[in-house]
Chains A and B, each alone.
Chain A
Amino acid sequence: MSYHIVVCGSIVPDPLQTLEPVAGPGGPALKNEMMLPAVLDPWAAHALFEAANLAKNVPGSKVWLVSVGPKAKLQQVMMHVAQKVPFELVVMDGPAGGFVEAADTAAALAKAVEGITGLDKGKLLLFGGWSSASRGTGATLQILGELLGVTEQFQGVDELRPADDGSFEVKERIEGGGYLRSRCAGAPAVLGWATGNLPEPPNNPQVGMQNMRLIMPALQKAQPAAVGAAGVAYKAVELPGTRRQTRIVKDTPVDDIAREIVEWIKG
């Protein structure tokens, strides 16, 4: 039994960047968003690395990365991501900022997934981030699953163990740091990944060159995606207030740092 794994995920500004909400012509936006360096949403990245690992271990499986995002920025990000693991990119050209409705994004993604040539829905595992770094509603993947008629859904996944008969066991995060273990009879299913267990794979330029031969045409023929926040009025948009009281102390033992944080939380 092989899988057709579709990973849904887009880009977010590099977390080191200063983000400042501004009023744009189409509603709220981030200041200079197009010029800021972007990365693959870390939640989606976890899902992609898990998907690639699963595909490697289950012969005959294949991975697609389906993304709604500005194609020019996606191209930049792909120069890094494409070197990590083998996948085929499917792109819908649209905004990737946090100010879009989950339903719109899910509808665009559904259209893109439906359009994948050779996709066997009977083998479909729909991967994505449990949440996202741009706007953590945690709703997009669930709506997408519903739109595609995939009702077996797991959220906050940290582990997936496939069995030879096509079934698999899933470990989901639940309250209090515990896990829920479930067994699913098989694809199709939706899996919203938490952080998984895999580290970021090292770059492999040979894989990158192989991926980019398909990624560049995919970016060039990306169709516009009508996603946004039509009908939604934002009364105010602001970043959560930050308060920094930074001390720089070199060579502090990890245990001391942890103890201090615990004391601060308790205090």
Chain B
Amino acid sequence: METLRTLPGDDVRQILWRYADRFDLQMAVQSARSIARSVVARLVADGVRNTHEWTERKAELLKAFDESGLTSIYMDPAQGGFIEGPKNLALALVAMELAWVDGGAATSALASCLGLAPIHEKGTDEQRAHYLPLCTPPQPGEDRVCRRAAFALTEPLPYVGVDTGILGGKMRVQSWDDGAEPLLKVEKRGRFITNMDFADIVTAAVESDDPRIKGSCMIILEKDDPGTFDRGAPTLKMVHQLSSTRDPVMSLTVPASRIIGGYDVVDGVIVPRFSHGEIIASVFHRTRIPVGLMTSAKLLSAIEPIIRYHRQRFRGGSVGEPGSRRHELGLQMNEDALQRLVDVWATGEAGCSLGLAAARLADRFDPIEREKDRQFAAQGIKGRKQLAALKDSQERALEYVRLKYAPAGQADPARLAELEADTLAQFVYMDALAGVLNPATKLWNTGVGATMMREAVSLVGGYGITEDCPGFLCHKWMDAQLEATYEGPEAVQRRHLTLTMTNPVFLELVRQWSAELRRSQAGGAAALAGALDLWLWTLDFLQNGADRDGKKLYHGKRQGVTFPLADALGWLLAARSLMQDVAVLAAEAPASPVLAEAAPGLTAFYADMACVQAARAAGEAARVCAELVYGYGCGQAQDGPGGPCIVFTGSEEFARLRQGVDQGLHGTRLAKDRAAEALTAVMIPEALDYPL
């Protein structure tokens, strides 16, 4: 039987993740990989992680990033970069490649971009033109030093502060001469600030402590500004030690022109054009995606070392001569080792599919968002009027979603094209989708990913928790825990989702996805479609229902209701994304000259893996929904055939939908058997391509 021949290479990934036609991205991937599997891997293997301090060895990373172009990947070509247009997918792919070996190295690379992101997203033209080229490595013939940036948001509140609504950073007017730029005194104490050992520029969130300044803002601080620029003590973190993290103390005097996005003077008061919240929303909207993908990359990176360990487990012992089944397969003789590895692999694939779908969407969304802003500015539409204008566009966005997912031949192509050219309708549609995909990537990939990393470690036995475990699995397991807190811990992502997942445009998308899956013949599609329907029904039930005390069930304060529903959605989104990617692979792999011969086995394996993930996701979602519906539902004690029982009234439809999910699991375990069996025959390289 045709099966998986080799571990998936770039040709497979480029189709799955849709960058086969982007050689700029392929080059970025190659650059990041060459650094990850040489400089980064050597640092980890040499135990350089075993200190909190930033050392000369760790600084080799920065040199490597500069030389390989990774430092300038965030910049446009005019600023010294090499990728035109939006760079969300590029950053996501680079983060994955680095995190394949070490998450701290990936964080180091991303943190520079994060430090500049407020300037990039909301800075004035002058701020962008000045700071972005400054942070690009010098080109041949240039005599300057590459500046580096850090992003200072979190405050030294008790424990690590992450609530963006509570700021300790303050600014006051220090002097304001007539006709001159006001000088501001900025006090900022940061906590857990990445890049602080070497940052020359800090973009800091501060709020007014002066009646002559309104609200909050982000402001650019430089290390040579007058005052104190104390890099602070190193954070004593036990993970991601290849990134520099300190708790700085800054008390600096800077001109008001450093306020990111600029300011206006209204009635003698400095009014920043963007609050710190607006800037953070714009920045985090996208930067959460690569962090989620870092954890998924860890899972994928674990596959090869685990297979190698399983196959070679008994070699060299007194049993299992070469050629024997024990010698060739080792632990892979056992179903458990194989099937658990399928779970690890499928989770990693699903996380990547979800995160990279979010990254691709962000790339499409960026120009739409800018065009929307431009149109509103041209028409003088501001503030609440913008919300009203977008509300008016919602019907068109809903129509677009229905047309986009209509069965073949049933959509009006002319109307579809018209709506695709409608900036506001597209904005509403993409905003609804990104509003869910981005936090879901961050929540599901890191949360479930960290749990599955534990499974990966356990699959290597005691070796898994040693420092010299191939693939650095132990480090990755611990690192994953930190990734779940980056850019807002899990509770923040769940809060975000509970607001965005009830958007009517998103809910219409879920209905359309369910219908699309029901039309699909793919294994597990019926279970996933059923679970999406069940989730929709449960949401509706909770939004309109009350508990026994008459209190509303779906409510912002009722996180026991809303958060589990957000978790369930994460499972479903990830599984659907993987199914989408596998469908693309099935369609395109046969046409690839590299994959053509192996396409049947490759696509069959991936289809089985998607089926496994769909079954798992449907099961998780159905469990959560059942707990919520029955758990909060009103039941009555009755005598049943086996004695007294609780009969839940009004649940017939839920029970019917739940039964549909269960029946949709038909054949999914057979798919798992096939996928597991394929792991016994897949060809792996002779050795890992990075050191122990």
Name A's B-contacting residues (CB within 8 A). 14, 16-18, 31-32, 34-37, 70-73, 76, 79-80, 82-83, 202-206, 208-209, 212, 216, 248, 250
Q: How long is the Cα–Cα vector from A73 to B34 in the complex, in angstroms?
A: 18
Contact B684 A205 (CB under 8 A): no
Q: How long is the Cα–Cα vector from A72 to B598 in the complex, in angstroms?
A: 15
User: Which residues on the B side are within 8 Å of A31 (C-beta)?
Assistant: 683
Task: Add 14 more A-B contacts to A18-B685, A35-B9, A76-B10 (CB < 8 A).
Answer: A31-B683, A35-B11, A71-B593, A79-B26, A79-B30, A83-B69, A203-B30, A205-B31, A206-B69, A206-B139, A208-B27, A208-B69, A209-B82, A248-B692
Which of these, A72, A76, A203, contacts B68 with CB under 8 Å?
A203
| Chain B residue at minimal CB-CB distance from A77 | B30
Contact B34 A203 (CB under 8 A): yes
User: Which residues on the B side are within 8 Å of A248 (C-beta)?
Assistant: 692
Q: How long is the Cα–Cα vector from A250 to B10 in the complex, in angstroms?
A: 32
Instruction: Answer yes or no: B278 CB below 8 A from chain A CBs.
Output: no
Contact B6 A203 (CB under 8 A): no
Which of these, B139, B594, B686, contacts A17 with CB under 8 Å?
B686
Q: How long is the Cα–Cα vector from A71 to B24 in the complex, in angstroms?
A: 18
Contact A32 B5 (CB under 8 A): yes
Number of interface residues of B (CB under 8 A): 37
| Chain A residue at minimal CB-CB distance from B63 | A202
If A32-B5, A35-B594 touch, whether A83 touches B685 (CB-CB below 8 Å) is: no
Instruction: Answer yes or no: B159 CB below 8 A from chain A CBs.
Output: no
Contact B685 A14 (CB under 8 A): yes
Contact B689 A35 (CB under 8 A): no
Contact A205 B82 (CB under 8 A): yes
Q: How long is the Cα–Cα vector from A206 to B28 in the complex, in angstroms?
A: 11
| Chain A residue at minimal CB-CB distance from B595 | A35
Per-residue A-contact encoding for B139-182, CB less than 8 Å = 1, 0 else: 10000000000000000000000000000000000000000000
Interface residues in B22-63 (C-beta closer than 8 Å to A): 23-24, 26-31, 34
User: Which residues on the B side are within 8 Å of A216 (C-beta)?
Assistant: 23
Within the complex, what minimum Cβ distance (angstroms) separates B12 from chain A?
9
If A18-B684, A248-B692 touch, whether A208 touches B82 (CB-CB below 8 Å) is: yes
User: Which residues on the B side are within 8 Å of A202 (C-beta)?
Assistant: 64, 67-68
Within the complex, what minimum Cβ distance (angstroms) separates B425 from chain A?
35
Task: Give 8 A-B contacts (CB < 8 Å), ordered by A residue.
Answer: A14-B685, A16-B687, A17-B685, A18-B683, A34-B597, A76-B11, A83-B30, A205-B24
Q: How many residue-residue contacts, CB under 8 A, span A and B?
A: 96
Within the complex, what minimum Cβ distance (angstroms) separates A251 from chain B?
10
Which of these, B9, B69, B595, contacts A203 with CB under 8 Å?
B69
| Chain B residue at minimal CB-CB distance from A204 | B69
User: Which residues on the A side are within 8 Å of B673 (C-beta)?
Assistant: none
Name B's A-contacting residues (CB within 8 A). 5-6, 9-11, 23-24, 26-31, 34, 64, 67-69, 72-73, 82, 139, 468, 592-595, 597-598, 683-689, 692
Contact B27 A205 (CB under 8 A): yes
| Chain A residue at minimal CB-CB distance from B596 | A34
Which of these, A16, A18, A35, A37, contacts B598 with CB under 8 Å?
A35
| Chain A residue at minimal CB-CB distance from B69 | A205
Q: How long is the Cα–Cα vector from A248 to B139 in the complex, in angstroms?
A: 43
Contact A34 B685 (CB under 8 A): no
Within the complex, what minimum Cβ distance (angstroms) separates A246 from chain B?
9
Within the complex, what minimum Cβ distance (angstroms) separates B73 from chain A?
8
Q: How long is the Cα–Cα vector from A33 to B10 in the complex, in angstroms?
A: 14
| Chain B residue at minimal CB-CB distance from A201 | B67
User: Which residues on the A side are within 8 Å of B27 (C-beta)?
Assistant: 79-80, 82-83, 205, 208-209, 212
Q: How long is the Cα–Cα vector from A91 to B224 in the complex, in angstroms?
A: 53
Q: How long is the Cα–Cα vector from A83 to B684 in the complex, in angstroms?
A: 28
User: Which residues on the A side are within 8 Å of B594 (C-beta)?
Assistant: 34-35, 70, 72-73, 76
Contact B593 A34 (CB under 8 A): yes
Q: How long is the Cα–Cα vector from A212 to B24 in the complex, in angstroms?
A: 9
Q: How long is the Cα–Cα vector from A72 to B688 in the complex, in angstroms?
A: 25
User: Which residues on the B side are within 8 Å of A76 (C-beta)?
Assistant: 10-11, 26, 594
If A35-B9, A79-B23, A205-B82 touch, whether A72 touches B31 (CB-CB below 8 Å) is: no
User: Which residues on the A side are within 8 Å of B597 (C-beta)?
Assistant: 34
Contact A16 B468 (CB under 8 A): no
User: Which residues on the B side are within 8 Å of A205 (C-beta)?
Assistant: 24, 27-28, 31, 68-69, 72-73, 82
Contact B686 A32 (CB under 8 A): no
